[in-house]
Copies of this chain bind each other. A is one copy, B any other.
């Protein structure tokens, strides 16, 4: 079906999965890293910085915007993107909680 059965999972599981999915492409990792590096806002330099077509970058930016990890402000003819700090912190919390599940108990294999 290509369609995940989200209804049989709880909200936390779906949220973690959605966030992870948004991070599941190297271009989006590169975009986020660049937004952190250039700590002022960055516009379409991303197209040059990363070697993908403008339409493709725009598509990746849209995904990141949809999940809320970045915000875009129109500035004249260009658009300025930046990390949404609040959302980033929330994501960090959710993912960290998941990643920090206790390994000590797993005593097998």
Which A residues have a C-beta under 8 Å from some C-beta of B?
A: 4-6, 8-9, 13-14, 16-18, 20-30, 32-33, 35-36, 39-41, 50-52, 71, 73, 80, 82-83, 85, 88-89, 91-92, 95-96, 98-103, 105-109
Whether the Cβ atoms of A101 and B25 lie closer than 8 Å is no
Most chain B CB inside 10 Å of its own CB: which residue of A9, A52, A88? A9
**Oligomeric state, in copies:** 2
Question: Are the C-beta atoms of A88 and B109 separated by less than 8 Å?
Answer: no
A13 in contact with B36 given A108-B41, A108-B82, A109-B41 (CB within 8 Å): no
Contacts A20-B24, A80-B108 given: A33-B101 contact, CB under 8 Å?
Answer: yes
